[in-house]
Amino acid sequence: MNQMQSIEEFTKRIKRILITEEEIKTAIAAAGKEIDKLYDGRPILLVSVLKGAFVFLADLCRAVSVPCEIGFMCAKSYYAGTTSSGVVQITMDLDQDVKDYHVVIVEDIIDTGRTLADVVKLLQGRTPLSLHVVTLLDKPSRRLVDFEADLSLFTIPDHFVIGYGLDCGEYYRNLPYIAEYAADGN
């Protein structure tokens, strides 16, 4: 689905809204307060693994009052079958040296957990002052590795979801809510 044919095609793929815009705003405000409490005025580095979490990162950075910088990474992991090869390819690395930072990885969704677990391991190897993971969505029924975020805003069932930064074929990132995607348009 690289070329969207029409607005009708676009909208018929939105099966149903799972998490409303207002629910997201409320959860992010609460997460911002938790992060403020955790870091108690100490500066942090919010890190987004592109592309899906950029919308969440933008709103979360405005919800915290502690001083913060932002950073971006692109990472790809290669797996053979059900076993991780342990190879994470960083296609875009952070500009910051994390050893001087309290790092908070801001993730859109934790599904199998493999790539994020590898990114966390990679960043921990760079010896940050501390490292925490906050995710907008958690889908534990799909987890293939033992990994949990320090803070999950919503736990969802095993649906393919779109909106609020999450995409299908690069579309739907602009939706202000999280919706279930209808592959068949019904």
- pLDDT tens per residue, range 145-172: 899 999 999 999 999 999 999 999 889 9
Average of per-residue pLDDT values in the chain: 90
Phi, psi of 159 (to 5 degrees): -120, 150
Cα angle value 151/154/158 (rounded, 5°): 120
Answer whether residue 103 is part of any domain: yes
Answer whether residue 10 is part of any domain: no
Domain of residue 76, CATH code: 3.40.50.2020
How does residue 79 score in pLDDT terms, banded at 50, 70 and 90? low
How does residue 89 score in pLDDT terms, banded at 50, 70 and 90? confident
Answer whether residue 132 is part of any domain: yes
Q: Considering the entire predicted model, what is its pTM?
A: 0.89
pLDDT, tens digit (0-9, with 9 covering 90-100), for 90-140: 889 999 999 999 999 999 999 888 889 989 999 999 999 999 999 999 999
Q: Which domain holds residue 91?
A: 18-178
Percent above pLDDT 90 for the chain: 71
**Looking at residue 87, what is its pLDDT?**
63
**95 classed as catalytic:** no
Answer whether residue 8 is part of any domain: no
Answer whether residue 11 is part of any domain: no
The number of distinct structural domains making up the chain is 1
Phi, psi of 183 (to 5 degrees): -60, -35
Phi, psi of 124 (to 5 degrees): -60, -35
SS3 94: coil
Mean pLDDT confidence for 58-79: 89
**Looking at residue 78, what is its pLDDT?**
55
Answer whether residue 69 is part of any domain: yes
Exposed / middle / buried, residue 168 (Cβ in 10 Å: 0-12, 13-18, 19+): middle
Answer whether residue 26 is part of any domain: yes
**Looking at residue 77, what is its pLDDT?**
62
Catalytic residue among 59, 108, 111, 138: 111
Taking 60 as the threshold, does the pLDDT of residue 85 lie above it?
no
Answer whether residue 28 is part of any domain: yes
